[in-house]
Structures are given as C-alpha cells and as structure tokens.
Amino acid sequence: MHDTSEAARATRARAWFDELRDRLVAAFEALEDAAPPDLYPGEPGRFELKPWVRAEGGGGVMGFLRGRLFEKCGLHVSRVEGVFSPEMAANMPGVGEDRRFVATGVSLITHMVNPRVPAVHMNTRYIATTRGWFGGGADLTPLLEEHRSERAPDAVRFHAALQHACDAHHADWYARYKAECDRYFFLPHRNEPRGIGGIFYDHHDSGDFERDFAFTRDVGLALLDVYPAIAARRMLEPWTEEEREEQLIRRGRYVEFNLLYDRGTMFGLKTGGNIESILSSMPPTVKWP
C-alpha cells in the first residue's frame, strides 16, 4: 500500500486541485458577468459548492453553475480512500494482494446555452496503490458541424495550448497523448469521434513525481487559459433555432460515450463515489433524432 510519502503526495495534489477549482470558478463567473444581456437575459449565475462525505473514506466538494451563459457546469474535487475490488485491481498497475488505494482529482464539464460555444471537459487525478501515478487530460467538443474539424480556429487554438503544456516537459508527450485522446474519445458504435480531441493520459509515471506533478498542473493551467478565451469570443455570436437543434442532437453523442465507455464514470460508480457528481457530465437538455 502507499506509504507516508504517497499519502503526502496525494495531499499536495488535492491542494492543487482545490486551487485550480477556485481559479476556474473565478474565470467562469467572470464570463457570466461579461455575457451580453441582449443574448443572455437574466442575472449572472454563480457556483454552488456542496461538500460530501464518502462512508468508506474521503469525500469532496461538488460545484455546479447554472447560469445564463453556462447552461450547466460541473466542477468537482475529491479525495477518496478504500480497497479496490478484485475486478478493478486487475486493471490497475502496482496492485497485488494489497488492494488499498487513495485517489484525488478535479473534474470539469461545461454545457453552454449558445450552440456556437463548444463544450469542454477536463479531468486530472492522482492515484496511489503500491505506487502512484497521474492521469487526465482535456478535450473540446464543438456542437456545430462547421466547428468540428481540427483545422477550425477553436480547435487550432485549443490544441496549441495543450501542446505548449506538453512540450514544456517532454517533446514526445503531445503526439503520444493526442493520439491516445483520439483513440479514447471515440464512439465505436457510430464510428465517429466525440469532438475534436485534445490530450488524454493514464497511469502516467515517468519515475519523477515532481516532473509529472508539474506536467499535470500545466495541463490544468492550459485549460484555464485557453477555454475562457474561446468562450469569450464565441459567446458574442448570436445563434439560430436550427443551430440549437443541432447542439441538442450532438449532445446525445456525449451521453452515449459517458454511459458506455467513460472510464471515469465507471471508476466513480465502482468505488462508491458521489452519484450526483459522477453523472454531472450529463447535459441538462438533449435530443435524439
């Protein structure tokens, strides 16, 4: 099982996830304030933060924003401890007879009122069993056909930010984790990607904790820098009812992926996580044709 140093590392990671959450809260509430009232009537939304406790050990803080720009945003931080089931332990590195674990992370998902503003997902985490590793990444999901290309301006800007975060630590990590993201965020039953990708990494352990922790922090900071800038530009664009209809139908793909394939959803459900936060990735309104 993780020793004192692993527990201390998990504590450091949790402190960073709390800090990143607070900075994202400030950035997103500033976007709510700045949204033009002719397109977004009503009062700007504010995050509601709600602590929760896990009976088996640990807990976290759920955060929800339901506003005039953000139709629904979930932003959660947690730290949980327990024992992996034999089934889960078989898929985790470094787990033998001792199946105890500690896991901490931050997760974000946004669903926007304006279909011209893309949805975004980000999750970074630290898990320790007999050893520790980082995982996570970020990906962008435009909801309109004209934006669903890696050559579209939002996609180019998003990928550039993530590449900069990767290149600061290893020249090969962006290509490696971009390819992993493309493989992971794919719907086999529809033979199509969920969005325009980003980066995704799991069981990341270079042998240098400080380097891996710095990389994970930079992934979060890249998202904090690039997504509010994309949203600030796109939120000024009016939309049509036809675009709203397209948005709602594309959200159905999001639901299908998260319920059928998403590892984070499965991990949370199988380790007794908070159901409300686990399923907060579900869009508030969705359609299937």
Q: What is the rounded average pLDDT for all residues in the chain? A: 92
Taking residues 257-274, what's their average pLDDT?
A: 80
Q: What is the CATH number of the domain that holds 126?
A: 3.40.1500.10
pLDDT for 56: 82
Q: CA–CA separation, 84 vs 110, rounded Å?
A: 30
Taking residues 200-205, what's their average pLDDT?
A: 95
Q: Which of 10-14, 80-84, 270-274 has the highest average model confidence (pLDDT)?
A: 10-14
Q: What is the CA radius of gyration of the chain?
A: 19
pLDDT in tens, 236-249: 999 999 999 999 99
The 10 Å Cβ neighbour count of residue 273 is: 23
Taking residues 38-50, what's their average pLDDT?
A: 97
pLDDT for 1: 39
% the chain with pLDDT above 70: 96
Pick the range with the lowest mean pLDDT from 179-188, 194-203, 272-281.
272-281
pLDDT(100) > 90: no
pLDDT band at 90 (very low <50, low <70, confident <90, very high): confident
For residue 90, give every residue at least 6 positions away whose Cβ sits within 8 Å of its Cβ, in sequence order, or none.
none
Looking at residue 44, its amino acid is: P
In-domain check, residue 77? yes
In-domain check, residue 287? no
pLDDT for 94: 66
- pTM listed for this prediction: 0.92
- Judge whether 2 counts as a catalytic residue: no
Domain count, the chain: 1
In-domain check, residue 93? yes
Exposed, middle or buried by CB within 10 Å (0-12, 13-18, 19+), for 34? Answer: middle
% the chain with pLDDT above 90: 79
pLDDT(89) > 90: no
Q: Which one, of 152, 164, 289, 272, lies nearest residue 225 by Cα?
A: 164
pLDDT band at 4 (very low <50, low <70, confident <90, very high): low
Q: CA–CA separation, 80 vs 88, rounded Å?
A: 15
In-domain check, residue 289? no
Q: CA–CA separation, 270 vs 256, rounded Å?
A: 19
Taking residues 205-219, what's their average pLDDT?
A: 96
- Choice among 121, 147, 159, 169 that is catalytic: 121
In-domain check, residue 267? yes
User: What are the strands of the beta sheet with 132-141, ordered from one edge?
Assistant: 48-53, 58-65, 70-83, 100-112, 119-128, 132-141, 197-204
In-domain check, residue 286? no
In-domain check, residue 21? yes
Q: CA–CA separation, 49 vs 165, rounded Å?
A: 29
Q: Which domain holds residue 274?
A: 4-281
In-domain check, residue 152? yes
